[in-house]
Amino acid sequence: MKRMVRGFWGPRRQPLEELAAAWTATLDAVEGLLPAAWSATEGARWLLIRNDGGSAGFRAEEHALLAVLREEEAGEGWTERTGVGPSLVAASAPGWEISVSGRTGGESPNLLQAMLLEIESVEGAAVPEAELLRAVAEVWNPDFGDVVDGAERDALRGVGARVARPAVGRIGYLSPARAALVPDELRTVCTPLPTGGVLLDIAPPGAPDTVAAAHLRLRDAGALEPLPKPMDRSTL
Record the pTM: 0.94
Alpha-carbon torsion angle 152, 157, 160, 162, nearest 10:
100
pLDDT the model gives residue 105: 95
Mean pLDDT of 40-47: 72
Task: Convert the pLDDT of each residue in 163-196 to its tens digit.
Answer: 889 999 999 999 999 999 999 999 999 999 999 9
Q: In whole angstroms, give the CA distance from residue 212 to residue 190.
A: 17
pLDDT the model gives residue 41: 58
pLDDT the model gives residue 43: 63
pLDDT the model gives residue 89: 93
Under the phi-then-psi rule, with left for phi > 0, alpha for psi from -120 to 50, and beta for the rest, what region is 123? beta
- Across the chain, mean pLDDT equals 92
Is the CB of residue 10 less than 8 Å from the CB of residue 124?
Answer: no
124 — pLDDT class (breaks 50, 70, 90): confident
pLDDT the model gives residue 173: 98
Sorted by where each begins, the domain ranges of the chain are: 1-141, 143-236
Mean pLDDT of 135-139: 98
